[in-house]
């Protein structure tokens, strides 16, 4: 019985630590930097998903952002800043032009364009691009 209790306490403590680290990253103020290698596109959040891993002690937010003008969908991993983007939120996605070799802490930004999320920004990693025709 005590082994189970210790295990439960351990898991709950790690969930607390993981959420504390995530909350600390939310407090960062993100100021998007745009340069000649940046591309700005308007789209919307098609889906968002939180993934918590006790083994790796991480909590990650993944966002799928659809850009209707180009029929592309980007898989983005949130790094820090505003994290409350929801399905169908309209956003501006600023990212590096494909093929540019750049080494940074992140590859782009999401900026809200409407309502409560207007002008809220997050830094993101873009992991993949998918062509969609829907």
What gap in Å lies between CA 22 and CA 68, rounded to an integer? 30
What gap in Å lies between CA 72 and CA 8, rounded to an integer? 43
Can you spell out the DSSP letters for the chain?
Answer: -HHHHHHHHHHHHHHHHHHHHHHHHHTPPP-----TTEEEEEEEEEEEEEEEETTTTEEEEEEEEEETTTTEEEEEEEEEE-----TT-EEEEEEEPTT-----S-SEEEEE-SGGGTT-EEEEEEEEEEE---
- Please tell me the predicted confidence (pLDDT) of residue 78: 95
Which structure tokens are listed for 78?
């949130």
| Lowest mean pLDDT across 20-24, 55-59, 96-100, 107-111 | 96-100
> Is residue 124 predicted with pLDDT exceeding 80?
yes
- Please tell me the predicted confidence (pLDDT) of residue 37: 81
**Residue 83 · residue 122 · CB < 8 Å:** yes
The Cα-based distances of 65 to 29, 88, 103, 131 in angstroms read 21, 9, 22, 12
Condensed to tens digits (0 to 9), the pLDDT of residues 1-34 reads: 788 888 888 888 888 999 999 999 999 999 988 8
User: Which residue in this structure is represented by tokens 């309502």?
Assistant: 115
Condensed to tens digits (0 to 9), the pLDDT of residues 65-106 reads: 999 999 999 999 999 999 999 999 999 999 877 665 555 556
- Please tell me the predicted confidence (pLDDT) of residue 29: 92
- Please tell me the predicted confidence (pLDDT) of residue 98: 67
- Please tell me the predicted confidence (pLDDT) of residue 101: 57
């Amino acid at each position: 019985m005590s082994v189970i209790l210790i295990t439960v306490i351990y898991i709950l403590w790690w969930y607390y630590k993981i959420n504390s680290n995530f909350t600390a990253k939310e407090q960062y103020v993100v100021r998007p930097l745009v340069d000649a290698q940046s591309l700005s596109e308007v789209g919307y959040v098609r889906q968002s998903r939180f993934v918590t891993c006790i083994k790796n002690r991480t909590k990650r937010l993944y966002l799928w952002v659809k850009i209707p003008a180009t029929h592309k969908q980007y898989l983005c991993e949130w790094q820090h800043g505003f994290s409350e983007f929801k399905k169908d939120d309209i956003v501006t996605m600023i990212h590096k032009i494909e093929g540019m070799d750049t080494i940074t802490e992140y590859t782009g930004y999401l900026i809200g364009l409407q309502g409560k999320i207007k002008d809220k920004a997050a830094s993101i990693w873009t992991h993949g691009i998918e062509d969609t025709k829907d």
